[in-house]
Amino acid sequence: MMPILPGLLAIILYLLASALLLARLMRGVPDAGCQRSQIMMIGLAAIFIHGSLLYPAIMTAEGLNLGIFYAASLVAFTAALLLLLATFVEPVENLGIPVFLVAAICIALTMIFPETHIVPSSSWQLDSHILLSLLAYSILGLAVLQALLLAIQESHLRNREPGGFIRALPPLQTMETLLFHMIATGFVLLTLALVTGTLFLEDIFAQHLVHKTTLSIIAWIVFAILLWGRWRYGWRGRTAIRWTIGGFIFLMLAYFGSKFVLELVLARQ
């Protein structure tokens, strides 16, 4: 179980960073870089505390603790960290509004429901598969948030309502380019995760893994078709948004859907 006071501090800092980003966005005019940097520093502090709490909770002497809420917290932590790093090269800080909020919720859930699910320590090959899967989930999670923000922006522009917070967002073309950069990166990581799973797991279609493998492959196919459609036919806008959301749903069902049923519904470890 995570310590209460540091956990509460991380939650407060995440919520503060999310609220400040939301207030900055709703004003509709990008603020000076100094305020943006200050908000990101608050987010960095939350991420640092989150990571320091998560590491001993997951890296146990018996093996990896990948209970559903700890796993969700790990994905949220990774997404928040990747987002923070991405802000140095791309204007994606507005994704911190939902990402920081989700990270705060995940910390709270691990504190309220500290149930564990230990995966016995094994080889570096299995660890690399888990790491690649985690990175793929995190980046494609950022991609679906980017797709939702893009959908809102496109809807406002389509209805000739370019005012408000829409003025604070990058141009539509830039938003689409960022989306496909995220999808392409996540797709490569998902491909590597599936390859390492095939190579390093004894049987990826074993009874306890078949649903995860099947849904992950379906998600891979969805993202592959989306990237091919973008390259071949220039898919964009609503088409890209729908395919992104669809692929992510399959990916989340592959891991968290099965863990929810097994750990919370059936109470199996």
Confidence tier at 65 by pLDDT (50, 70, 90): confident
Examine the domain organization and report whether 259 and 193 are in the same domain: yes
- Please say whether the beta carbons of 50 and 80 come within 8 A: yes
pLDDT, average across residues 129-149: 91
Above 80 in pLDDT, residue 205?
no
Q: The pTM is what?
A: 0.86
pLDDT, average across residues 96-110: 95
Distance separating the N- and C-terminal Cα atoms of the chain: 17
| Percent of the chain with pLDDT strictly greater than 90 | 51
Examine the domain organization and report whether 23 and 66 are in the same domain: yes
Above 60 in pLDDT, residue 175?
yes
Neighbours of 34 (CB within 10 A): 7
Residue after which a domain boundary falls, among 121, 137, 167 = 121
Confidence tier at 254 by pLDDT (50, 70, 90): confident
pLDDT higher for 126 or 250? 250
Structure confidence at residue 259 (pLDDT): 60
Q: Which amino acid is at 199?
A: L
Examine the domain organization and report whether 112 and 241 are in the same domain: no
Structure confidence at residue 18 (pLDDT): 95
pLDDT, average across residues 154-169: 74
Above 70 in pLDDT, residue 171?
yes
Nearest to 215 by CA among 247, 183, 262, 189: 247
Structure confidence at residue 263 (pLDDT): 54
Domain count, the chain: 2
Structure confidence at residue 260 (pLDDT): 60
Structure confidence at residue 212 (pLDDT): 83
Examine the domain organization and report whether 140 and 250 are in the same domain: yes
- Please say whether the beta carbons of 218 and 250 come within 8 A: yes
pLDDT, average across residues 8-26: 94
Domain with 52 in it: 1-121
Residue after which a domain boundary falls, among 78, 97, 121 = 121
Examine the domain organization and report whether 140 and 49 are in the same domain: no
Q: What is the separation of C-alpha 232 from the centre of its chain, rounded to a whole number of angstroms?
A: 28
Structure confidence at residue 111 (pLDDT): 93
Examine the domain organization and report whether 175 and 241 are in the same domain: yes
HSE-CB for 14 with a 13 A CA cutoff: 30
Examine the domain organization and report whether 259 and 185 are in the same domain: yes
Examine the domain organization and report whether 108 and 144 are in the same domain: no
Structure confidence at residue 155 (pLDDT): 86
- Record the tokens describing residue 83, joined without a space: 């987002």
Structure confidence at residue 30 (pLDDT): 58
Examine the domain organization and report whether 107 and 134 are in the same domain: no
